[in-house]
Structure 1
Amino acid sequence: MTTDPADRGVHEEHRVQGVDHAAFPTFDPAATVRFYRDTLKFPVVHSICAAGWGPAEHPDFIHFFFDIGNDDRIAFFYYFGHEPVGDPAARGDAWARLPEGTPEFFANSRHLAIHVDSEEDLLEYRRRLDDSAWPCEMQVMHETIESIYTHDPNGYMIEITRALRPVTPQEDLDAALTIDALCEVASGPEPSLDKLLTRKAELIVERAADWDAAQQAPSGTGAVPR
């Protein structure tokens, strides 16, 4: 089927700008951080701590992001209180499988997010979806983005997202502290979001003291904050 050139020009006014992030669940956030941040040197650039989000059965979780270049990111969800079933040495979905009846949130954590530049573009894609067999299922304002969601014909969740504002250097620092706290808490007994936030507060106090000491140290001593 051919497309009228004038019609094609209208459609090209609203273009996606590539991958914002691809997201997956993890049962081992500490190992995930060691692999992506420490081994591959992908910086942690954002994190979201969510308590009481969504439906009543939705657990507390942390959603954290690594920069993989060109403003693209790979992201992971860690759900507090959920453990894998089966052989931890198995790969991929064989390890990630949870018991029958697990809420849909776990399947939806595996999704692709596509970036657009403006609210106008986002609403245009919502219009296209709503006029199709796959209407928009949810439109959400997150901390720094606004997103629309649907499922494709294969059952995979697709997100189209726009930035509400730039992520600040202070938020990058907050993400680094959050991930350091997560790695400690998730490796201990009965991890929870409350424990993560408590440990994060302790790290802020510890590192603030280190920073003050570095600022007061004589020039040339080599003292630096952690």
Structure 2
Amino acid sequence: MTSTTGDAPLEHRVRGVDHAAFPTFDPRATITFYRDVLGFPVVHATCALGWGAADHPDFIHFFFDIGNGDRLAFFYYFGVTPYRDADLPELMFRARHLAIHVDSEADLLEYKRRLDASQWPCELQVRHETVESIYVTDPNGYLMEIARPLRSITAEDDIDANLSVDALMDIAAGEEPTLQKFYARKAELIAERYAGEPTQPSFA
């Protein structure tokens, strides 16, 4: 399939939805609903100390498999509540985005080239744990991501993701969850899971 801009044909290189993302202010209920009630497996989770701007809150970004290679993702911002934070409207607006999948670095760079040659240039290019992404705000003000895989998701990624959401479930039940409390609880869960097992990595 091709599209055109003026007289120049443009090859259509996207391969559908990588993920759709939303904010959550109740991660325990969100995980219970999607993982435990609907049975959507947790397949990836990534954490960050802020993001971009110095005042951006720490967060965890976790993903559910919803079939056909598509994923549903949520951001949980530590210390942010929908009742007291002046930055909440912008956070919610930027967290809600659609990520489109492309297969290769060449495809990603082609879309970056097209954007940079337009009146909507690429705003950010970043490598996450398993994908490389570019971001742009469309003419309606919606954030859009185009992502290409850096590697395949493994069984170890699934284990890590589930340990992450279990740690999040535990600390979110207490007062004032923080990324530091999350990391500490996740370390405890890892130690419990592998207690008594060899500590040498399998590739050593």
Paired residue for 1:60?
58
Structure number with bigger Rg: 1
Q: Does 1:197 align with 2:183?
A: yes
Correspondence for 2:167 among 181, 184, 189:
181
Give the gaps of 5 or more residues in structure 1.
Answer: 86-97, 213-226
Tell me if 1:167 matches 2:165: no
Match for residue 105 of structure 2?
Answer: 119
Q: In terms of mean alpha carbon deviation, does 103-112 or 166-175 score higher?
A: 103-112
Partner residue in 1 for 2:95: 109
Distance 1:37 1:133, change over 3 A: same
Alignment partners' CA distance in 2, 1:143 and 1:54: 16
- Is the contact made by 2:50 and 2:56 (CA closer than 8 Å) also made in structure 1? yes
Q: How is 1:1-226 mapped onto 2 (pairs within 5 angstroms)?
A: 7-8=8-9, 11-12=10-11, 14-85=12-83, 99-102=85-88, 104-209=90-195
**Partner-residue secondary structure (3-state), 2:194:** helix
Contact 1:57 1:103 in 2 (8 A): no
The question of whether the paired residues in 1 share the 8 Å contact of 2:22 and 2:92 is answered with: no
Whose strand fraction is larger, Structure 1's or Structure 2's? 2
In structure 2, what is the equivalent of residue 89 of structure 1? none
The percent identity for this pair of structures is 65
Do the aligned partners of 1:45 and 1:65 also contact (CA within 8 Å) in 2?
Answer: yes
Contact 1:53–1:59, Cα closer than 8 Å, also in 2:
yes
TM-score, normalised with respect to structure 2: 0.88
User: CA offset at residue 103 of structure 1?
Assistant: 7.6
Structure 2 unmatched runs, 5+: 198-204
Paired with 1:82 and 1:137, the residues of 2 have a C-alpha distance of 25
Query: Is the Cα contact below 8 Å between 2:50 and 2:59 reproduced in 1?
Result: no
> Structure 1-normalised TM-score?
0.80
Q: Distance in 2 between matches of 1:127 and 1:200?
A: 40
Q: Give how far 1:134 is off.
A: 1.0
Task: Name the CA distance, whole Å, in 2 between partners of 1:131 and 1:7.
Answer: 13
Instruction: State the distance in 2 between where 1:35 and 1:171 align.
Output: 21
Deviation string 1:67-98 (CA, Å, 9 cap, x unpaired) is 0011100000000000112xxxxxxxxxxxx6
Question: Do 1:29 and 1:186's aligned partners in 2 also have CA atoms closer than 8 Å?
Answer: yes
- Root-mean-square deviation (CA, aligned residues, Å) is 2.1
Shift of 1:158: 0.2
4+ residue runs over 3 A deviation: 98-106
- d(CA) in 2 for partners of 1:124, 1:137: 15
Give the structure with the higher percent helix.
1
Deviates more, 1:133-142 or 1:103-112: 103-112
Describe the superposition over 1:30-64 as per-residue Cα deviations: whole angstroms up to 9, x where unpaired. Answer: 10001100011000000001114321101110000
Q: Which residue of 1 aligns with 2:201?
A: none
Deviations 1:103-146 (A, max 9, x none): 84442111000000111111111111112221111111111111
